[in-house]
Structure 1
Amino acid sequence: MESKLNKKDKEYSDSELQKYANIYEVHSFKELEKIVKKYGESLVQKTYNALTDKISRNTINVNGKELINFTGYNYIGMSGDPIVSQASMDAIKKYGTSVSASRAVSGEKPIHRKLEEKIAEFVGKEASVTFTAGHGANVSTIGHLFNKDDLIIHDSLIHNSSWLGTLLSGAKHIRFRHNDAKDLESILQKHRTRYKRALILTEGLFSMDGDIPDIPKYLELKKRYHTFLMVDEAHSMGVLGKTGRGISEHFGINPNEIDILMGTLSKSFGSCGGFVTGSKKFINFMKLSCPSFIYSAGMPPSNAAAALASIELLEKEPTRIKTLHDRSRLLLQLLKEADLNTGECRDSPIIPVIVGNAVLAMTLSSQLEEHGIYALPLAYPIVKKGESRIRFFVNCTHTEEQIHFTVATLKQLIKNNKENLE
């Protein structure tokens, strides 16, 4: 083995981590250590993996201190809502804390079927299947449906779960430039006829930039080149559209034109888990053959009940969506008026403030916390070099006063730091 290692690999070959990871994973960990060394261990530790307490809504308790919270995706305030919490507790009393089996065996409960029927109805699809995790839903669905005879063309910024599912499938995969329909079409023109099936894979709302793809254009390409279209609606379902029904409602298109709509329950729907929607035949096929559905224990009843209650509550209180949109527009407007770089963000509760320098992003995050505001930085390799940022997640429980205070504070801190750099 030693003779096969290059000089850089040999540097890390004796690491204690070698017991638990391959040589390249160890190398990556060393790169992470370099980041800690560069930015300062205390700053990195203070910024990430902080101990939080209590419910994550417009405020959060961090290391015993109450802060205005822009780090969570409890977009419409369902997590912590008394009605949702009560539904979850009632399910535990009735079914226990676990179904104690795969749903294919004896873990199928009425609450699962009610939730899946409600999801399909809410999204506007024929049927749905739920999974214990959103990440696993993407990995298993994509990995299960496609194979080496197929082509997957995906946005360059798709989520890790979609990327791992693509790798698992064994399909030929080509990335197109982020939200670039022209680049997507050029790839289809060149490669589509070489493969039995093709999938266009994208998201409804991207979590790093808060931008939205041109789904109507993707639908045109899907029809012209006879492909499937799958949209990961983890951040767009319960967020986009007048009533929160996601990317289809946002663009005014029939959701059945999109072959596969995937979503999570951990964001707008105040629970944990994932779901995939489609035709009845497709969903029945998934329930009979998808590995992560068959070989995993069923979703805990408390999670299913919380998600079901959240969707039902949203249908009764659609003003949550309007408030979310209003607060998001207010933050974006104020940031732009302050001449801060918000990138391509639009119509989104995910709003980045791009500052470029990674150290500045981490410093600003730390200083914001000192002023009672919790917003975390993103730096390379999570985002491109030179595009380090502070990312803000807005939810419907934020007040206008909190948003005005946050922008005024951030503007002053950026000014102070730039003066110090000069």
Structure 2
Amino acid sequence: MSNFGLSASAKLALLQRLSRRRDGAPEATPAADAPRLGRDDFADLPNGREMGMIKDAVAVLGLPNPFFRAHEGRAGAETTIGDRRVLNFSSYDYLGLNGDPRVAEAAKAAIDRYGVSPSASRLVSGERPVHAALERDLAALYGTEACLTFVSGHATNVTVIGNLLGARDLILHDAAIHNSCVEGARLSGARRIAFPHNDAEAAERELAAARARHGRALVLIEGHYSMDGDVPDLARFVALARKYDAWLMVDEAHSLGVLGARGHGIAEAQGVDPADVDIWMGTLSKTLSACGGYICGRAGLIQYLQYAAPGFVYSVGMAPALAAAAREALAIMRAEPERVARLNANARLFLTLAREAGFDTGLSEGHAIVPVILGSSVAATRLSASLFEAGMNVQPIVFPAVPEKSARLRFFLGAEHTEAQIRTAVAMLAATRGRAR
């Protein structure tokens, strides 16, 4: 008897029922005589019971926890987990710069000069020259008037979106937008409308119907979607934003260093003038091998955020070593575009081989992210465990992060992967696919 009082088969059946629940389904109303929750009842938080049931079901299946695996060193095309060297497709070091000695030396030099922490918010006394230097370089990349960096990519979207708009305003966003954007939109209090993924026509219908009833409006999309590996038609969304007097914000977390011949992002890849986008957002933790986020745009926007965005004003400044590392990585990306070409060639090869082997790769366009969609959380977790046992690290993406019917393995490709490693990975997938059932 388990701690839930259910047999193994009953627990699995319950897990399947839970996974089919729609977002926003009402929680069961406790009985009138139910005991009052105490301060230690964290399991009764929203989604707590579901998380406990999933954990219990995975234990019944005898599967190891695929999350929080500790890497014993740098995680590149290969990594060491425990005492094993394995192929690695779970890191977004897209251009292989995290292990570049030039990036490491830039970080070390910054530590020697500034210490490990700025020890204050930049507004108070945490400003260092390396912060402004990085921001000038990012603004130059996008051709914008200014840029502002933040200590966290997730916090960048939360604090910027959450404070640019208010209760009288409108946020129109892709249904597949990142959690950080959703949380920022919720914080703002603005009306939120999600349109079907990458459907510009549906987006226009929604905006046309709602625009007149609101003050400011923001159209929010990603440059390269992290779950599916596809991209929007940027010019269509530029035209949409202009037609309805809305700001356009593009989250480039997974497109900087990936899209475009030089890795300059979706605008370069699609021949769109970057000035046509009002707010460029990106992260420093992927291609740029550091940690943090940035906003590029007009000088008035950046000045407003410097003095009004709580996630900047009330947060410690970015560690100087991280700013220096990101700046050096950006310089290398610009000087060595062959890294971008290698990355995209690797991703296209993986996508082609996976499709030839009969795997469902969804909407991926083969830039850096390729999902292998398996249809259930149990199947994705089982296959991830089998592949890890065989010598490959790739993470399952399961309910509730994605709908149960689209649970998947998500492969991040990098410039450091070799053709042999990619062919081996797909062969391993094919050899173990029967264990996903």
TM-score (norm 2): 0.90
The answer to whether the 8 Å contact 1:43/1:362 transfers is no
Match of 1:131?
150
CA RMSD of aligned residues (A): 1.9
Specify the code of the residue in structure 2 equivalent to 1:141. Answer: V
1:189 is aligned to: 208
The code of the aligned residue for 1:139 comes to V
Q: Which residue of 1 aligns with 2:309?
A: 290
Q: Which amino acid aligns with 1:243?
A: R
1:106 paired residue among 118, 125, 138: 125
Distance of aligned partners of 1:319 and 1:39 in 2 relative to their CA distance in 1, 3 Å threshold: same
Structure 1 match to 2:30 = 7
Report the CA distance shift for 1:12/1:91 in structure 2 as closer, same or farther (over 3 A): farther
Would the alpha carbon gap of residues 322 and 99 (structure 1) be closer, same or farther in structure 2, given more than 3 Å must change? same
Q: What residue identity is the alignment partner of 1:239? A: V
Measured against aligned partners, the alpha-carbon deviations of 1:327-380 in whole angstroms (never above 9, x if no partner) come to 011100101111110001004211000111221211111111111111111111
Shift of 1:281: 1.9
CA deviation after TM superposition for structure 1 residue 8, in Å: 7.5
- Opposite residue 435 of structure 2, the aligned amino acid is N
Distance 1:41 1:261, change over 3 A: farther
Helix, strand or coil at the partner of 1:6: coil
Identify which of 385, 397, 418 aligns with 2:416: 397
2-structure distance, mates of 1:210, 1:13: 46
1:7-406 aligned at under 5 Å gives the runs 7=30, 14=37, 17-18=40-41, 26-40=45-59, 45-406=64-425
TM-score normalised to structure 1 length = 0.93
Q: Tell me the CA shift for residue 244 of structure 1.
A: 0.5
Give the SS at the match of 1:230: strand
What is the SS of the residue equivalent to 1:241? coil
Aligned-partner SS, 2:317: coil
Decide whether the 8 Å contact of 1:103 with 1:297 is kept in 2.
yes
Match in the other structure for 1:417: 435
| CA displacement, residues 187-220 of structure 1 (integer Å, 9 cap, x when unaligned) | 1121111111111111111111111112111111
8 Å contact kept, 1:67–1:372: yes
Residue identity over aligned pairs, in percent, reads: 40
* Distance 1:224-1:89 versus aligned 2 partners, 3 A rule: same
Matched position secondary structure for 2:364: coil
Q: Distance in 1 between matches of 2:123 and 2:262?
A: 34
Cα contact 1:128–1:278 (8 A) shared by 2: yes
The alignment of Structure 1 onto Structure 2 pairs a total of residues equal to 411
In structure 2, stretches of 5+ residues that fail to align are: 1-26
Counterparts in 2 of 1:407 and 1:144: CA distance versus 1, 3 Å: same
**Does structure 2 conserve the Cα–Cα contact (< 8 Å) formed by 1:9 and 1:27?**
no
- CA-to-aligned-CA distance 1:253-281 (integer Å, 9 cap, x gap): 01110000100000000000100000112
> In structure 2, what is the Cα distance between the partners aligned to 1:11 and 1:337?
56
Once residues 393 and 161 of structure 2 are traced to their aligned partners in structure 1, the CA distance between those partners, rounded to angstroms, is: 35
In structure 2, give the amino acid aligned to 1:102: S
In 2, Cα distance between the equivalents of 1:299 and 1:394?
Answer: 28
Question: How far 1:17 sits from its partner (Å)?
Answer: 3.9
Any gaps of 5 or more consecutive residues in structure 1? none
| Cα separation, 2, equivalents of 1:39 and 1:170 | 38
Change (3 A) 1:192 1:57: same
| Deviations, residues 32-85 of structure 1 (Å, cap 9, x unaligned) | 011112232685643111122200110111122111100010000111110000
